Chain A
Amino acid sequence: MRRFASDPDFRAGFAEMLPACVGLVPFGLVCGVGAAAAGASALAALGLSAIVFSGAAQILAVELLAAGAPVAVVVLTCFVAGLRFVIYSAAMAPYLRALSPRWQKGLAFLLTDQAFAASVRRFDAGGDAHAGSLHFAGGGFALWSMWQLTNIAGYLMGNVIPASWSLDFAVPLCFIALVAPHLRTVPTIAAALCAGVAVLALGGLPMRLNLIAAGVLGIVAGTFADLARERWTPR
């Protein structure tokens, strides 16, 4: 650990992630409150945030378990919601190819929405793969540590935060901050629109199955729009 703490790239990555960490404080608190409300023990709440390390999956898991959904449904929903990590993984892979397999496996654990957004900017700016990976590790470590602290704080404080503050609204806001900048091409807008309409129209489905259905429909719509654009664009 000391080797990392004194590395300038690791430290820069850590420092540059701090604003995003502040943004995730309310989200982490909400996740901790959710785990407590679902009756998780302190150890299980910590296991959830430390091992799963994904706010969306954590919220879905405690919500579905509290609603009495079977384990298979909880696992499937969280898995589909986490499929975006596959995309991030594919986008990161070329930058990490030169690194040792062990280092790759460690870095993969730290792959999150925020770490991905920050690291792609950094890798695209150039520089060597090793420095870039240390930068990514620094940012990922900052996010992971902050995530554990805020989750534990939320679990212990529970409903100390007044409901009238609507702190839970910080969760969709964090995702809006991630998705809005992407909606600049016709196929991405088609994917988002189709998924959005579907998730609301299918809201009556039990156990949040509307989420999986809407995600799949949105992906299909985006892919079709992309293929159609290619087919009809004059060359």
Chain B
Amino acid sequence: MDASLKLWTVIVVVGALNYASRLSFIAIFARREVPPLLARAFRYVPAAMLTALVLPMVVAAPGAATSPDVPRIVAAIAAFGAAFVTHSTLKTLGVGMMTLWIAQAVAKGIG
């Protein structure tokens, strides 16, 4: 399949599936009872999926040869603390990026 056709297929199908997920309980299953076990499992989807998404990006820079990437891990821990306490995306970004830049400078100094 040609690359552009492949990309458009992904855009349309993933777009439709994501929209179906967003619409699911608001419209499609609005009048239906959710099985209790499924409702319970649903509660843990964000914690599990978001953690699984985040950790590989933290332990190594994209395409990097050095793994684990210590400055990134240190910065992620600091950002986690900031997010846990403040609940603010901006403060988490600020603390995380600042810590990363400082830790990278320190690592360069040591290395």
Question: What residues of chain A have their CB less than 8 Å away from a CB belonging to chain B?
Answer: 19-20, 22-24, 26, 38-41, 44, 47-48, 51-54, 56-57, 61, 65, 71, 74-75, 78-90, 92-93, 96-97, 101, 104-105, 107-109, 111, 114, 166, 168-183, 187-189, 191-196, 198-200, 203, 210-211, 214-223, 226-227
Counting chain A CB atoms within 10 Å of each CB, the highest count among B11, B80, B96 belongs to B11
Q: Once bound together, how far apart are the Cα atoms of A168 and B72, in whole Å?
A: 11
Counting chain B CB atoms within 10 Å of each CB, the highest count among A47, A90, A226 belongs to A90
Q: Which residue of B lies closest to A107 (CB)?
A: B26
Task: Provide the residues of chain A in CB contact with B87, threshold 8 Å.
Answer: 177, 181
Residue contact A87 to B47, C-beta cutoff 8 Å: no
Residue contact B89 to A86, C-beta cutoff 8 Å: no
Residue contact A23 to B89, C-beta cutoff 8 Å: yes
Interface residues on B, range: 35 or more
Residue contact A75 to B40, C-beta cutoff 8 Å: no
Residue contact A183 to B84, C-beta cutoff 8 Å: yes
B 40-93 contacts with A by CB, 8 A: 40-59, 61-62, 72, 75-76, 79-80, 83-84, 87-90, 92-93
Residue contact B84 to A181, C-beta cutoff 8 Å: yes
Task: Provide the residues of chain A in CB contact with B88, threshold 8 Å.
Answer: 19, 177
Task: Provide the residues of chain A in CB contact with B37, threshold 8 Å.
Answer: 223
Task: Provide the residues of chain A in CB contact with B110, threshold 8 Å.
Answer: none
Counting chain B CB atoms within 10 Å of each CB, the highest count among A168, A179, A183, A215 belongs to A179
Residue contact B44 to A199, C-beta cutoff 8 Å: no
Residue contact B75 to A90, C-beta cutoff 8 Å: no
Counting chain B CB atoms within 10 Å of each CB, the highest count among A87, A166, A169, A175 belongs to A169
Q: How many A-B contacts at CB < 8 Å in the complex?
A: 271
Residue contact B89 to A215, C-beta cutoff 8 Å: no
Q: A41-B4, A105-B27, A203-B56 are in contact. Are A65 and B10 (CB under 8 A)?
A: yes
Distance in Å from the Cβ of A57 to the closest Cβ of chain B?
Answer: 6
Q: Which of B1, B23, B53, B101 contacts A175 (CB 8 A)?
A: B53
Q: Which residue of B lies closest to A97 (CB)?
A: B30
B 6-49 contacts with A by CB, 8 A: 6-15, 17-19, 21-27, 30, 34, 37, 39-49
Residue contact B100 to A82, C-beta cutoff 8 Å: no
Residue contact A215 to B11, C-beta cutoff 8 Å: no
Residue contact B104 to A173, C-beta cutoff 8 Å: no
Q: Which of A92, A192, A196, A198 contacts B26 (CB 8 A)?
A: A92
* Interface majority SS (helix, strand, loop, mixed), chain A: helix
Told that A104-B26, A200-B56, A216-B48 touch, could you supply 12 new A-B pairs with CB distance under 8 A?
A19-B88, A23-B93, A41-B4, A44-B4, A52-B14, A85-B24, A93-B30, A176-B83, A177-B89, A177-B93, A178-B89, A222-B44
Task: Provide the residues of chain A in CB contact with B104, threshold 8 Å.
Answer: 166
Q: Which of A22, A40, A51 contacts B12 (CB 8 A)?
A: A51
Task: Provide the residues of chain B in CB contact with A188, threshold 8 Å.
Answer: 43-44, 47
Task: Provide the residues of chain A in CB contact with B1, threshold 8 Å.
Answer: 71
Query: 10 interchain pairs (CB within 8 A)?
Result: A47-B8, A74-B14, A82-B18, A89-B25, A90-B39, A168-B57, A172-B53, A187-B43, A191-B48, A199-B56
